[in-house]
Amino acid sequence: MAVQVLIQTEDVKKIYGMGEVHVIALDGVSISIQKGEFVAVMGPSGSGKSTLMNILGCLDQPTEGRYILDGVDVSEMDRAQLAGIRNRMIGFVFQSYNLLPRTSALKNVMAPLLYNREQKRNTNMQQEIAAEVLKAVGLGDRMAHQPQELSGGQQQRVAIARALVNDPVLVLADEPTGNMDSQSGEEVMQLLHKLNQDGRTIVMVTHDHEIAAHTQRTIHLVDGRVEKVIHNGSGSNSSAFEKVSHESH
Amino acid sequence: MNLIEFLRLAWESITKNKMRSLLTMLGIIIGVASVIIMISISAGTEASIEEQITGLGSNLVYVTTNFIRAGARMGPITISGGGEEGGLVFDDATAIAEEINGVSAVVVEQSSSETVKAGAVVLDGVTILGSTPGFPSVRDMEIKDGRYFNQRELDHTQKVAVLGFDLAQELFGEGDPIGQTVTAGDTKLTVIGVFNERGMVSGVDFDAQLYTPITVVFQKFTPSMFARFMGNRVRVIYVKIEDLDEMENIIQQISFLLAKRHEVSLEEADFSVTTQQDIIQTQESTTAAFRNLLAWVAGVSLIVGGIGIMNIMMVSVTERTREIGIRQSIGATPSDIRWQFLTEALLLSLVGGLIGVLVGIAGSWIFGEISEMRTVVVSTSIVLAFCSAALVGIFFGFYPANKAAQLDPIEALRHE
């Protein structure tokens, strides 16, 4: 098969609390995302977007159902194993950047390399790699700056560099432009599109329909279920289980 | 991550929050410093006791006045020519030397306090220590210049003086005191010798005293008219024994002799006979008790320091919850987080321990300078204090580190 499935969830449920008082955050979500796709996730608050992102990002585990990431079932892994998956396979881009405070851009980008147990590198190598990625996001001249000395857009680019430094198969972005002006937001979106064109798979939560329209697919969640999936460009509705073929890059 | 990387991370975190780090370390600094200072005081005390004992030998018997009983006996004053009421007199020493076999030397001491003048220099309250010719050898004093007085000068109540090292300096400066005259009270004394430095021995500054034949003290410096009735009283009689095996026997002979002379029974004797051995044992058990007490105090202060570290580390974990969440999201495992906080606690205690060692050494020195006590910094106490600090750091760092490791990444990321 030319098309490779990167993310596959099978009837994923997430229930908080037990017994009488419980909240169903996700009520059987089955989605499939291929390598190289750029997918937006939309939905009103309380629809389960964040829960889904947490599960896709291996920060949380489903109560029921299975989550297969790049052919590996991660539903039953322990905390240390999940940390390894997050470190090597997933890069996070948060709305509030979540950079380490009072730590230089370079050190922030180096941090995931420190926790990489598969590929141990010495400090010089780590610095070299981190510097390279920072240059790639256009911050070659800001490496020694601390987060509070950078603009929102610059901070988010540091965060993107940090997300990319271990060369992950998946980038998860949670409203990456939510905290910045339209100019900076535009730049960050361009950067994400460029990453996607280079073959990186991106799943992004957004409230902005226009931003969502520039992705290949938009998954709409309501009440913990997939309400509809829109193929942008074609605009046609399709069922949640439908496997969509795309021309691979 | 390896240990070096963890230590570097911990060091960055410590230096980023200098004030918080210092406050955290304060308990450990105080704990370690107090361990070192207290052990140095204890060691200093032991050293001065030891110094006091060396040179005296174990074959020395002390006869001292037992003041409580002597005082009771002194109640109704009876004037008797011999004047043997209450306490030891010079004739007791003579009797011991003459009547008891196996005694190699008998030395007596009696002192008074007088104003001493030499030219324009006037010193108040100088101790005039009257003794016998055997004094320098029994009390381990060395003559620097001149000589000590002899038996003939003692017998003839010759007005001669030997000066302590500091006293000679104060009275004559750089000049040569030998042959000069000093005036003690109303009595002119000719200086015949100066002692080498001896220092403080059990609170007495041997370098500040003036030494003269005890007969001169009896004649010129007897404290009061009242005491004149009592005869030539002495503070202490040192008896040097020839054969150590005869010690017990000779002590009994001395006791019987003095009881007979003082007309008292042994049960209500107005004197006590002790040996060097007794004194060493008493002092050793006193210092051992002192040392044990210090060990407890030091241990408690280290534990308090450790609780301080735990307290601030707990606060730190709460304060840095978001940082922990960020680190978890980029791939830090629970053990990575645990090690991060554990190395931080360890490094804080080690740095705190190091500062504590420096403060302790400086504190011991200052304490020795400003107080009468002697202090000796013991190297094993430094190692001990430092290692305890490290152990305290690991022990009390473990709980907060574990708490940090168990944080849920989602909760932690949401934390403001």
Mean pLDDT of all residues in A164-187: 92
Q: How far apart are CA B217 and CA B206, in angstroms?
A: 17
CB A205 within 8 A of CB A50: yes
* Residue-by-residue DSSP string for B356-401: HHHHHHHHHHHHHHHSSS-----HHHHHHHHHHHHHHHHHHHHHHH
Are the Cβ atoms of A112 and B409 closer than 8 angstroms? no
DSSP E strands, B84-185: 103-118, 121-131, 143-146, 160-163, 181-184
Residue A72's H or E segment, with its range, is strand A72-73
pLDDT in tens, B186-245: 889 999 999 998 877 666 788 899 999 988 888 888 755 555 555 677 888 888 888 878
Are the Cβ atoms of A59 and B323 closer than 8 angstroms? no
User: How many Cα atoms occupy the beta-carbon half-sphere of B299 within 13 Å?
Assistant: 6
Q: How far apart are CA B159 and CA A195, in angstroms?
A: 108
Q: Check pLDDT > 50 for residue B126.
A: yes
Q: How far apart are CA B408 and CA A114, in angstroms?
A: 21
Mean pLDDT of all residues in A177-199: 91
pLDDT of B341: 93
The helix-helix angle for B3-16 and B334-370 (nearest 10°) equals 60
Distance from CA of A229 to the nearest CA of B (A): 27
Query: First CA to last CA across chain A, in angstroms?
Result: 14
Identify the domain containing residue A107 by its residue range: 37-58+77-236
Query: CA–CA distance from A77 to each of A60, A166, B259, B336 (Å)?
Result: 11, 21, 93, 17
Task: Let me know if residue A228 belongs to a domain.
Answer: yes
Residue A7's H or E segment, with its range, is strand A5-16
* CB proximity A122 to B under 8 Å: no
Query: CA–CA distance from B72 to each of A3, B84, B223, B237, B265 (Å)?
Result: 114, 14, 20, 21, 14
Task: Let me know if residue A20 belongs to a domain.
Answer: no
Helix (H, G, I), strand (E, B) or coil at B256: helix
Domain residue ranges of chain B, discontinuous segments joined by +? 3-52+284-414, 67-269
Angle at B395 between CA B392 and CA B397, to 5 degrees: 95
**Runs of H (alpha helix) within chain A:** 49-56, 79-89, 105-114, 123-136, 152-164, 182-197, 209-213
Distance from CA of B320 to the nearest CA of A (A): 10
Pairing of β A225-231 and β A237-238: antiparallel
Are the Cβ atoms of A80 and B334 closer than 8 angstroms? yes
* CB proximity A171 to B under 8 Å: no
CB B351 within 8 A of CB B358: no
ipTM of this predicted structure = 0.90
* CB proximity A34 to B under 8 Å: no
* CB proximity A49 to B under 8 Å: no
* CB proximity A244 to B under 8 Å: no
Q: Check pLDDT > 70 for residue A235.
A: no
Residue B105, number of CB atoms within 10 A of its CB: 17
Tell me which chain A residues have a C-beta less than 8 angstroms from the C-beta of B413: 59, 94, 98
Q: How far apart are CA A157 and CA B355, in angstroms?
A: 42
Find where tokens 């099978």 sit.
A10
CB B151 within 8 A of CB B133: yes
If you measure CA to CA, which chain B residue comes closest to A112?
B330
Binned at pLDDT 50, 70 and 90, residue B24 comes out as confident
Cβ neighbours for A96, distance < 8 A, ≥ 6 positions apart:
A179
Are the Cβ atoms of A115 and B326 closer than 8 angstroms? no
Q: Which of A84, A94, A102 sits opposite B16 (nearest CB)?
A: A102
CB B135 within 8 A of CB B209: no
Residue A23's H or E segment, with its range, is strand A23-29
pLDDT in tens, B268-300: 788 888 887 777 777 777 777 877 887 787 788
User: What total of structural domains would you count in chain A?
Assistant: 1
Cβ neighbours for B292, distance < 8 A, ≥ 6 positions apart:
none
Q: How far apart are CA A68 and CA B245, in angstroms?
A: 94
Look up residue B200 and give its two tokens.
């403080």
* Residue-by-residue DSSP string for A95-122: TT--PPTTS-HHHHHHHHHHT-SSS---
pLDDT in tens, B191-207: 999 999 887 766 678 88
CB B375 within 8 A of CB B42: no
Residue B177, number of CB atoms within 10 A of its CB: 23
The DSSP call for residue A207 is S
User: How many Cα atoms occupy the beta-carbon half-sphere of B380 within 13 Å?
Assistant: 2
Q: How far apart are CA A220 and CA A217, in angstroms?
A: 10
Task: Let me know if residue A175 belongs to a domain.
Answer: yes
pLDDT of A240: 35
User: How many Cα atoms occupy the beta-carbon half-sphere of B329 within 13 Å?
Assistant: 32
Query: CA–CA distance from A226 to each of A45, A176, A203, A236, B229 (Å)?
Result: 14, 22, 15, 15, 118
The DSSP call for residue B182 is E
**What CATH number is attached to the domain comprising A213?**
3.40.50.300
Pairing of β B121-131 and β B210-213: parallel
CB B88 within 8 A of CB B65: yes
Pairing of β B143-146 and β B236-241: unpaired
pLDDT in tens, A80-94: 999 999 999 999 999
Q: Which of B5, B330, B413 sits opposite A162 (nearest CB)?
A: B330
pLDDT in tens, B335-370: 999 999 999 999 988 999 999 999 999 999 998 888
- Decide: residue A50, CB within 10 A, 0-12 exposed, 13-18 middle, 19+ buried: buried
pLDDT in tens, A10-65: 999 999 887 788 899 999 999 999 999 999 999 998 899 999 999 999 999 999 99
Q: Check pLDDT > 60 for residue B147.
A: yes
pLDDT of B225: 54
pLDDT of B244: 76
Tell which residue, A94, A112, A95, has the closest CA to residue A103. A112
